[in-house]
Amino acid sequence: MNPRKRFFPLFCLLGFWPILAALFICCSSPAGDGAAKPSAISGRKTLCWILIDFDTFFCSPCLAPLLEFCQALPGPIQEERLRGILVYSRRSDGNEDSRYARVVQTKMQGFIKANDIRFPIVLDEHHLFNGLLNSNTQALLFDDQRQVVRKFSFPFQPGEKSDILNLLLSNDGG
């Protein structure tokens, strides 16, 4: 097997944790005087990125835990605290991969409308997060209280869902 192919997922994994951590630190810093216009994710607020496995669109039982989690959050909290990244498998042919990206994008629109998803979801068109997914939808929680990034897999273990919801619902900036 091509060593590049073998180690590419590891590069992604190792490369992106520092990026995510840096992003968290930037987002957690209070905006100072004369700072740029605050974005939707500025301020001391616990954030949750959801890496959604595209294959779960076609498996109702697989999708259920994610949808239950989303529906447990009021719409404004979803809009403010959740961000989705739709991850799908790369196609071997470059042209086919471009076409397939449009397929995934179209299906994503249907999924968002049909399930009343309120938070923005972007397509992982360059397959940056494939290595993190491990065939399960994942939640990356930027825990502002503990200043750490935590990763959870769907379906959650007992207690995890309520922990995450409590953090997202109770944290109100500072």
Partner 1 sequence: MKEDIEMKIGKMASISLGVAMALLFPLSIRAGEKPLKVKIQEVLSIGALDEETLFQWTGVASDIEGFIYVLDGLDYSLKKFDAKGRLVKKAGGKGQGPGEFMAPRLLGCSENFLYATDQGILGISVFGKDLRFQKRIPFSLPISDLFVFSDERIAVAVIGFQDPGRIVVLDAEGKVQSELVYQKKMAGPLMDSVSATLDGQGDLYLAYVFQDKVERWDKSGTLVWSKDLLGVKKVKTEKLSGYTLPTETCLKDICLDHRGHIFVLGGSRAKNPSRDVYVLSPAGGLVTTLTLPDTTHCIYIDHQDFLYVRANDGITLKKYRLIYE
| 107 makes contact with partner 1 (CB under 8 A) | yes
Distances (CA, A) of 147 to 24, 82, 111, 117, 172: 9, 17, 33, 28, 15
DSSP 82-124: EEEEEE-PPPSSHHHHHHHHHHHHHHHHHHHHHTT--S-EEE-
Given 26, 38, 68, 102, the residue binding partner 1 (CB under 8 A): 102
Place of tokens 């998803």: 117
Q: How far apart are the first and last CA of the chain?
A: 51
Interface pattern 44-83 for partner 1 (x via CB under 8 A):
-------------xx-x-----------------------
Q: Closest CB to partner 1 among 49 and 57?
A: 57
Backbone phi, then psi, for 128, in 5-degree steps?
A: -75, -25
Q: Closest CB to partner 1 among 120 and 173?
A: 120
| 109 makes contact with partner 1 (CB under 8 A) | yes
| 113 makes contact with partner 1 (CB under 8 A) | yes
Task: List the beta bridge partners of residue 152.
Answer: 139
Give min distance, CB of 110 to partner 1, in A. 3
| 103 makes contact with partner 1 (CB under 8 A) | yes
Give min distance, CB of 60 to partner 1, in A. 5
Looking at residue 48, the DSSP 8-state letter turns out to be: E
Binding-residue total with partner 1 (CB under 8 A):
16
Q: Closest CB to partner 1 among 98 and 166?
A: 98
Distance CA 80, CA 118 (A): 9
Closest-CA residue to 23 (of 66, 85, 68): 85
Given 105, 147, 162, 166, the residue binding partner 1 (CB under 8 A): 105
| 126 makes contact with partner 1 (CB under 8 A) | no
Where does this chain bind partner 1 (CB under 8 A)? 57-58, 60, 99-100, 102-103, 105-107, 109-111, 113-115
